[in-house]
């Protein structure tokens, strides 16, 4: 089983995913401790339901308390335990971060 998991993810995809978690922790310092806690290897019983709840919260972002920010965070948390998601989610989060920074720069110029 471990051979299957290692062949499905590359070290690059794993490190990119880890960098995105660290980046979120730096951008939102209040989440850093929680993200470190949830990324522990034995926390998969907490991570998977948490990821599903975050994704559902992102889907229902039109409700007052929930927000669209929950969808990428839920996918990021789910990608820890689902190896085929590591590369596409890592790449999507990087693209989202780039788009956000470009959009912020454009708004500041106005």
DSSP string, 65-95: S--TTHHHHHHHHHHHH-HHHHHHHHHHHHH
Q: Tell me if residue 60 falls in helix, strand or coil.
A: coil
Q: Given this model, what pLDDT does residue 40 score? A: 92
Q: Which portions of the chain are predicted below pLDDT 50?
A: 1-7
Tens digit of each residue's pLDDT (9 = 90 or more) over 28-40: 888 889 889 999 9
Q: What is the DSSP letter of 43?
A: G
pTM of the model: 0.75
How far is 65 from 100, CA to CA, in rounded Å? 22
């Amino acid at each position: 089983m471990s051979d299957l998991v290692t062949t499905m993810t590359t070290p690059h995809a794993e490190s990119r995913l880890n960098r995105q978690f660290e980046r979120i922790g730096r951008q939102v310092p209040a989440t850093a401790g929680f993200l470190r806690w949830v990324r522990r290897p034995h926390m998969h019983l907490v991570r998977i339901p948490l990821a599903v709840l975050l994704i559902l919260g992102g889907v229902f972002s039109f409700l007052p308390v929930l927000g669209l920010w929950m969808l990428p965070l839920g996918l990021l948390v789910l990608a820890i335990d689902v190896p085929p998601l590591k590369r596409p989610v890592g790449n999507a989060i990087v693209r989202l971060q780039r788009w956000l920074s470009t959009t912020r720069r454009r708004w500041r110029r106005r």
